[in-house]
Amino acid sequence: MATLPKEKPSIRISLDEMEAYMLLPVPEEEEAYTVPFLMQALNERGINAGVNHEQIARMVAEEVYERELPVAEGTKAVDGVDGYYEYRFSTSFDNKPRVLPDGSVDYWSVHSIESVVEGQIIAVYHPPVAGSDGFNVKGRPIQARKGRDKLPIKGKGFKRQPDNITYIASMDGKIEMQNDRILILPVYEISGNAEITLGNIDFRGDVVIHGGVESGVSIRATGSVTVDGVVEACSIEAGKDIILRSGMLGGNKASVKSKGSITAKFFEYTKIDCDGNLQADVMMDCKVNCQGKVIMNGSRGSIIGGEVHAIRGVEVTSLGNDAEKKTEITVGASGDVYSRLRVLEKKIEATATNLEKIEGGLRQFDALESERGVSYANDPRRMQLLRIKIRDTAVLASDKEEEKKLRHLVECSRGACVSVLKEVYPGVIIRIEDLRFDLRNVGKSVEFYKLSDKISTRPC
């Protein structure tokens, strides 16, 4: 009768203890391995989970010697999946128009508003999926990461359905995402033209006009303004972006003002104020004040005549024309900004000094009150000091806020230059801060930038 081998099998456990391997040395004559013998060897090494009993039985039955074979395998933990929202609307927009292969610019590609109707599904919540724990070959548990739930969506203009996973719009309007909040806001929409007979538009929200705008109409919106047709000599003011897909014929009677960016096919004889960037194909005889950058780099991008001031710089394909029309381009912070900044610095310092004196006077009244035991709360002199303190504190706060904005403008203007991708003609005047450069000859692909004492040029 065969006896059990004196030499025990060789057992190797992987570093992560997720796998175990066994090698059976060749036994002596009249020795034989048995399944219980091999199981005991595994138990002695602490391997008690994920054992492959069929593999061990085969090694014994087929006398598999001097070959290392896997005999146990742990179960990996499966992490849970966090809950997530599936939004049924675009959560981000690129307000830059698309440049076509021929170099022209497609202003109809600008997408800044997405509308929804009441009852429309805007989001669906997918709950978290629970994970499953695992274990290694020694039976030690491996914890799975649990799927985390998400908080309900916050915002306004929508409601959550009784199933707690579906969100629907509760009104018609424009939908947008702001800091993980969904907002559905009112939209004033005109299917045709905005005519003088309809009156002026003054709306808290976004304005969308699918036709044109007639001369004499005034449009004001706290949100964005989008016009599909041609805009005539009118006034447009927006708290956000302005998009004029077909351009504006200002006739020296039009004004456009935006706290965001402005995008248009063209502008003619228009006054433009823009806190963001301004992008168009053509500007003719316009007066522009842009806190961002003026970008006109399409194949027909040109500025002809007028005055353009852009804090962050100008990029244009063609500047001026061969008739040498006077065209003034200014980039960077103007001298007025630096002058105002110096005035504010002196004023802030004087106001702060005066407030310190007032505080000293009020402390003297407090000391007298403590010393004499008499209240000076209603003393006319003390009341006058308090009034001055309140007034000067408000003035100081306002001046500091203005100073902060001016310093931001100065910082944004650093390195501002004028880049002309193709031709620049005589009659063009380039100003960079306090320096001036008058074009005498036609230039091609040139960039104007500031040195310490002059405006220089380099290839663009």
pLDDT recorded at residue 96:
64
Same domain, 120 and 174: yes
Task: Note whether residue 445 is domain-resident.
Answer: no
Average pLDDT over residues 92-118: 65
Q: Total structural domains in the chain?
A: 3
Name the residue among 274, 204, 208, 295 with its Cα closest to residue 244.
208
Assess contact for 420 and 447: CB atoms under 8 A.
yes
Residues 88 and 60 grouped into a single domain? no
Angle of helix 380-413 relative to helix 335-372, nearest 10 degrees? Answer: 150
26 and 108 part of one domain: no
Same domain assignment for residues 97 and 167: yes
Residues 114 and 54 both lie in one domain: no
> What H or E segment, with its residue span, contains residue 411?
helix 380-413
In terms of domains, do 43 and 96 share one?
Answer: no
Q: Is 371 part of a structural domain of the chain?
A: yes
Give me the residues paired with residue 435 across strands. 432
Asked if residue 105 and residue 55 are part of one domain, the reply reads no
Does residue 88 share a domain with residue 176? yes
0.75 exceeded by pTM: no
Q: Which domain holds residue 407?
A: 336-413
Cα end-to-end span (Å), the chain: 96
Establish if 392 belongs to a structural domain. Answer: yes
Based on the domain organization, do 384 and 356 belong to the same domain?
Answer: yes
Residue 440 lies in a domain: no
Residue 242: inside a domain, yes or no? no
Lowest mean pLDDT among 30-34, 110-114, 122-126: 110-114
To which H or E segment does residue 397 belong?
A: helix 380-413
The last residue of a domain, from among 35, 54, 73: 73
Q: What is the pLDDT at residue 276?
A: 93
Q: Are residues 175 and 94 in the same domain?
A: yes
CA distance 222 to 238: 6
- Give the CA-trace dihedral at 423, 429, 433, 435, to 10 degrees: 110
Give SS3 for 216. coil
Q: Alpha-carbon dihedral of residues 202, 206, 209, 210, nearest 10 degrees? A: -170
Co-location of 62 and 88 in the same domain: no
Answer with the one of 34, 54, 73 that is the final residue of a domain: 73
Of 35-39, 60-64, 182-186, 395-399, minimum mean pLDDT range: 182-186
| Burial (CB count within 10 angstroms: exposed 0-12, middle 13-18, buried 19+), residue 258 | buried
CA separation for the pair 122, 91 (Å, rounded): 11
Report pLDDT for 334.
Answer: 74
Distance of alpha carbon 30 from alpha carbon 213, whole angstroms:
106
The verdict on residue 269 lying in a domain is no
**Cβ-count burial of 297 within 10 angstroms (0-12 exposed, 13-18 middle, 19+ buried)?**
middle
Distance CA 356, CA 153 (A): 49
187 — pLDDT class (breaks 50, 70, 90)? confident
For residue 289, is it within any domain? no
Residue 118 and residue 27 share a domain: no
pLDDT band at 197 (very low <50, low <70, confident <90, very high): confident
Please report the beta strands in 246-357, taking only residues with DSSP state E, as ranges in sequence order.
248-258, 262-264, 266-274, 278-279, 282-290, 293-296, 302-310, 313-316, 318-319, 327-331
Boundary (domain end) residue, out of 185, 217, 250: 185
Please report whether residue 4 resides in a domain: no
Q: What is the pLDDT of residues 337-385, one digit of tens each?
A: 888 888 999 999 999 999 999 999 888 888 888 888 778 778 888 889 8
